[in-house]
A = this chain, B = another copy of it.
Amino acid sequence: MDNGQRTTDKKMTDQGSVGIVKTQTCTLVQPPETFVLENRAELSPITVAYETYGTLNATRDNAILVIHSLTGDAHAAGRYSEEDKYAGWWDPIIGPGKPFDTNKYFVICCNNLGGCKGTTGPASINPRTGKPYGMSFPLITMGDMVEVQKKLIDYLGVKSLVAVAGGSSAGMKVLEWGLRYSHMVRSIIPIATGYCVTPQGIAFHKVAQEAIMADPNWNHGDYYGKQAPKKGLAIARMIGHITYLSDHSMWEKFGRRHLNPEKMKHDLTSPFDVERYLEYQGEKFVQRFDANCYLYLLRAMDLYDASEGYSSLEESFRRITCKSLIISFAGDWLFPPYRSEELVRALRANGSYVEYYNINSLYGHDAFLLEYHKFGPLIRRFLARVTGEEEQNIEGLREYEIAPSEGLLT
């Protein structure tokens, strides 16, 4: 979950780039108007950072919303300048000729409510106090984030969406789009996700929360203008990175290599390579992310349950009347294939059109930000089917890359 700070896939960049892009900002809710959250708390103003690629057509129905995962941002594709080393986080599949083909589609991405990348969140100024909200920010839900995205879609003049797509926690928002707005969404593409976080997931989030709150600099969330709780946030992030990789990919990437075999015999902290990786990821993360935001976003994930208020997931999913493309990765243990299979079964029980692929990958959860050549073609073909275009040749899609379904619950 590197937010695109990887070199992009060669095969994909042979196709076009969206080029130089700029993050836009708009204020969707202005005082005295307020936005009423699911828990009845009110929030105002709400500013949203977003990017768009491609052109909205005359009938305003060629838009696709892509949603970033936990700590991402609106910068899904392109580069900020010619010198920019890193492209947007899903750049390999967004652009002219790419699966999310900007020659055809108007692709939209925004920073989620509760974030710290231009959209209103716990680090934003509370107009009542003139200071950052911190822990006085109201608890937000996946549903709240979706409603803010809906406001952005309306603001941009979009009438209907060809697809809503995203991986991991974004996949939950994708599901929620299907549940709330199937009448204006032709398809959903939830990737490496589930209808809720498992108790194990909640447990990992708990440890992250504890690590942040135990940092004396956290100071009950009131650290703006002072030392931020960087140590606690770095520890929290390390836990995340363990869950994003797999046992196998860690063997491949790091093995049991270490920096200094001699020092290691005497010094408790002489690091293995995998430890240096975690340290690096922790340090990098605290430069770009806010600790309170992290707490709120983890909690929104914990609270999400697409079956809530219904007797079963199947009953809840009757509201999803659009088409679905569901993708999981065999090596993903944060959202293992069985979590996707739960979605597939509930949708199919209602007679919905569902394509499901469990992709052979040893990269773990991170595969949705890496294995573009495997799932990109699936997205391309699915979108062609959704829009009624002639089916594309699925270049690069090899049958063996689709792993047999192996859910625990089947």
Query: B-contacting residues of A (Cβ < 8 Å)?
Result: 38-39, 41, 135, 138-139, 196-200, 202-204, 206-207, 209-211, 214-216, 231-232, 234-235, 238-239, 241-242, 245-248, 250-251, 253-256, 264-269, 271-275, 278, 295-296, 299, 302-303, 305, 333, 336, 408
> Are the C-beta atoms of A274 and B242 separated by less than 8 Å?
no
> Are the C-beta atoms of B139 and A251 separated by less than 8 Å?
no
> Are the C-beta atoms of B251 and A199 separated by less than 8 Å?
yes
> Are the C-beta atoms of B209 and A211 separated by less than 8 Å?
no
> Are the C-beta atoms of B275 and A206 separated by less than 8 Å?
yes
Complex contacts, A139 vs chain B, CB 8 Å: 265-268
- Provide the bound-state CA to CA distance between A296 and B238, in Å: 21
**Contact partner of A199 among B210, B239, B272, CB < 8 A?**
B272
- Provide the bound-state CA to CA distance between A245 and B271, in Å: 27
- Provide the bound-state CA to CA distance between A267 and B211, in Å: 18
Q: List 23 contacting pairs A-B, 8 Å CB cutoff, sorted by A.
A: A39-B265, A138-B266, A139-B265, A198-B250, A199-B254, A199-B256, A199-B273, A202-B275, A203-B238, A203-B275, A206-B271, A206-B274, A207-B207, A209-B268, A210-B231, A211-B214, A214-B214, A214-B232, A239-B239, A247-B336, A265-B303, A268-B299, A333-B333
Complex contacts, A235 vs chain B, CB 8 Å: 207, 210-211, 214, 235
- Provide the bound-state CA to CA distance between A41 and B266, in Å: 9
- Provide the bound-state CA to CA distance between A261 and B319, in Å: 24
- Provide the bound-state CA to CA distance between A256 and B264, in Å: 42
> Are the C-beta atoms of A305 and B256 separated by less than 8 Å?
yes
> Are the C-beta atoms of A303 and B264 separated by less than 8 Å?
yes
> Are the C-beta atoms of A255 and B210 separated by less than 8 Å?
no
**Contact partner of A274 among B202, B269, B303, CB < 8 A?**
B202
> Are the C-beta atoms of A250 and B214 separated by less than 8 Å?
no
Instruction: Report A42 CB to chain B, min CB distance, Å.
Output: 13
> Are the C-beta atoms of B278 and A199 separated by less than 8 Å?
no
Complex contacts, A204 vs chain B, CB 8 Å: 242
Instruction: Report A252 CB to chain B, min CB distance, Å.
Output: 9
- Provide the bound-state CA to CA distance between A139 and B265, in Å: 7
Seed contacts A196-B256, A210-B234, A214-B235; 10 additional CB < 8 Å A-B pairs: A39-B265, A139-B265, A199-B253, A199-B256, A200-B247, A203-B241, A204-B242, A206-B278, A256-B305, A268-B295
**Contact partner of A242 among B203, B241, B253, CB < 8 A?**
B203
Select from chain B the residue with minimum beta-carbon distance to A305. Answer: B256
Which residue among A199, A246, A256, A266 has the maximum number of chain B CB atoms within 10 Å of its CB?
A: A199
> Are the C-beta atoms of B268 and A198 separated by less than 8 Å?
no
- Provide the bound-state CA to CA distance between A210 and B271, in Å: 12
Select from chain B the residue with minimum beta-carbon distance to A39. Answer: B265
> Are the C-beta atoms of B199 and A255 separated by less than 8 Å?
yes
- Provide the bound-state CA to CA distance between A238 and B202, in Å: 12
- Provide the bound-state CA to CA distance between A38 and B408, in Å: 44
Instruction: Report A193 CB to chain B, min CB distance, Å.
Output: 15
Select from chain B the residue with minimum beta-carbon distance to A302. Answer: B272
> Are the C-beta atoms of A207 and B247 separated by less than 8 Å?
no
Complex contacts, A241 vs chain B, CB 8 Å: 203
Instruction: Report A271 CB to chain B, min CB distance, Å.
Output: 8
- Provide the bound-state CA to CA distance between A408 and B330, in Å: 12
Known: A214-B232, A250-B199, A250-B200. A209 touches B269 (CB 8 A): yes
Complex contacts, A296 vs chain B, CB 8 Å: 268
Instruction: Report A230 CB to chain B, min CB distance, Å.
Output: 10
Complex contacts, A268 vs chain B, CB 8 Å: 135, 139, 209, 295-296, 299
Instruction: Report A112 CB to chain B, min CB distance, Å.
Output: 17
In the A-B complex, the 7 residue pairs with the closest CB atoms: A199-B250, A39-B265, A199-B274, A206-B275, A199-B254, A214-B231, A200-B247
